[in-house]
Amino acid sequence: MTTLDKLHAILRRDLLTAVRHRSGFVVTFVGVFTELAAFYFLSRAIGPGFRPDGVEYFPFLLVGTGVYTFFVMSAQAFLSAVQEAQQTGTLEVLMTTSTAPAELVILSSISAFAGNLVNLLIYLVAGVAVFRASIHANFFSCALVLVFSMAIALSLGITAATLQVAFQKGAALLWLLSSGIWFLSGTMFPIQSLPRPLELLARAVPLTYAIDGLRRALLEGRSVTAMAPTLAMLAGFAVVMLPLALAALSLSLRRARQNGTLSFY
Amino acid sequence: MDRVVFESVQKKFRHRPALFNWLGTERGGETVALKNAAFSVGPAEVLVLLGPNGSGKTTSLKLISTMLLPDAGSVRVGGFDTQRDAGKVRRQVGIAIAAERSFFPRLSARENLEFFAALDEVPRRERWQRIDEVLRDTGLDEQADTLVMKFSSGMYQRLGIARALVKRPSVLLLDEPTRSLDAATTAHFWATIRALAAQQTTILLATHNFAEAVAVADRLLLLHRGELLADRALGDCENAEALRSFYFQTTGEIDERDL
């Protein structure tokens, strides 16, 4: 009950803060429709002959960019929350409450990710309803891909927070996400188009499996059994990354408390 | 049993200049914040930490709250070590730090208190009543539903005190709590401190204000450059002037009034 109560308090804080930034929602919705329109006309310009991984190009882009944006914006939202807490001095006070730092971080990140999961769903629904992207969804497979993807995104967010607390450089991970990983994860084109060494590198990036998994589940309606290898990879990344990220954060918080740098930014 | 115990506590802050320091003038080195500090505070006791800037007052409070960890020695609260049992220590401690803006600006005073009360595991059925009480005690009841981004310095400070009180801590840490408060609120606050002590709360209060020390303290620690120069009780007949003379004689600082 106590944990649910804390989660409720954190979700309420973030929701109230978001709705009181009055123009924020409007800007988000305008951004979603502009981006979708650009991808729709890009795929029309390229023509129906281009079918990466056997699907139409617009749905291919819709899922790729949607999942990629979910990862980046989630990590960004979480990092911004940590940076803001450092700047205002809230982080120090939060660390003196009865809630353990690791619990606090996980609950805060759930809130950051929940908002972006809603954005992802709006993005996908708008792509299907307004721009007529054809889908053949297997909802159970989609749900599993999203659960594992959230665990991986959570790990990335916690890692960004760790870098921020330890070196005041959480933005470095976001830079990596928005440059190298964007290029390697098959967001805009299939990774098989890359030269062989880069393709092998792309296969070591968890985002590649999240994007590919959601494409298979949402656009082709593949069953859980048919997607077992992709789901196993996603689960493997989640199981390894999440405990490592939490351990690193715990270490960086302890070091910051030792050095008195908790509120440095 | 003593509720807060410092045993040979040492704390230094190390400053490492940036990689390309030749571009600027940042100096490396270390600042000694506490040297072998040893003292204890019992239940129902109000201990005032007095000393100039950089004497180790805030560091002592942060060490008790677990915001900082000691380099050597130990800090125990209610029998729990702040390094090994930080969670158990945090459940007992409430802190109002001097950083004014440690709140969520787009939440109201009441919403901020609800948020922190949830994280401090204040039971839901008591939460609203306690929040009303602390808002009233700190004179913020009329601004309870105002977004804190519109608050003045004094209101932020009152809200910080309210946040520390809402969990009903057994150890209350206050860092210059009346710095931005008006005279009437300050007098009311001093009365609140004495009332809390009467209810067995241990209170440590860092201040530069001699009148405040005399008004609330049972005991006084005088710190100077991380060293504990004096640890003594404050008599009923002691006044702010006498304390001022004691302070300048003991620390060797220059009282501008004597110039």
Structural domain span for residue B80: 1-19+28-92+169-259
How large is the average pLDDT for residues B107-118? 97
Domain boundary among B144, B168, B192: B168
Domain match, B87 and B173 both = yes
Distance from CA of B223 to the nearest CA of A (A): 20
Residues B152 and B213 in one domain: no
- How do residues A207-227 score in pLDDT, each as one tens digit? 999 999 999 999 999 999 999
Average pLDDT value for residue range B212-232? 94
By CA distance, what is A19's nearest residue in B?
B106
Do B184 and B111 contact (CB within 8 A), yes or no? no
Domain count, chain B: 2
Report the gap between the CA of A46 and the closest CA in chain B (Å). 46
Range of the domain at A86: 2-259
Chain B: residue nearest A104 by CA? B119
pTM, two decimals, is: 0.86
Q: Which of B137, B168, B199 is the last residue of a domain?
A: B168
For chain B, where are the E strands, in sequence order? 4-15, 29-41, 46-50, 72-77, 80-81, 93-96, 171-175, 202-207, 219-224, 227-233
In a 3-state reduction of DSSP, which class is residue B83? Answer: coil
CB atoms A98 and B119 under 8 Å: yes
CATH number at residue B234: 3.40.50.300
C-alpha B213/C-alpha B207 separation (Å) is: 7
Test B91 with A89 for CB contact under 8 angstroms: no
Q: Give the total number of structural domains in chain A.
A: 1
**A45 within some domain:** yes
**Whole-number average pLDDT of chain B:** 91
Residues B32 and B62 in one domain: yes
β partners of residue B72:
B10
- Tracing tokens 């050095």 back to the chain, one arrives at A259
* Chain A residue with the nearest C-alpha to that of B113: A9
Helix (H, G, I), strand (E, B) or coil at A190: coil
Among A16-20, B97-101, B173-177, B237-241, the minimum mean pLDDT is found in B97-101
What is the pLDDT at residue A53?
A: 85
At A247, is the pLDDT very low, low, confident or very high (cuts 50, 70, 90)? Answer: very high
Task: Select from A89, A98, A258 the Cβ nearest to the Cβ of B102.
Answer: A89
Write the residue in B65, B107, B163 that is nearest to A13 by C-beta: B107
pLDDT for res A206? 94
A254 belongs to a structural domain: yes
Mutation target for B interface from A96, A254, A258: give the one with most B CBs within 10 A. A96
In a domain, A46, yes or no: yes
Q: Say if the Cβ atoms of B105 and A94 lie within 8 Å.
A: no
Both B156 and B185 in a single domain? no
In-domain check, residue A200:
yes
**B83 and B175 within one domain:** yes
Mean per-residue pLDDT over chain A, rounded: 89
Q: Residue A46: how many CA atoms within 13 Å on its side-chain side?
A: 17
CA distances from B35 to A34, A99, B93, B220, B225 (A): 61, 31, 23, 18, 8
In this model, does residue A103 exceed pLDDT 70? yes
Asked if A97 and B119 come within 8 Å (Cβ–Cβ), the reply is: yes
* Residue B244, CA distances (Å) to A237, B51, B177 in order: 63, 11, 19
* Strand partners of residue B37: B9
**Residue B16 has what pLDDT?**
72
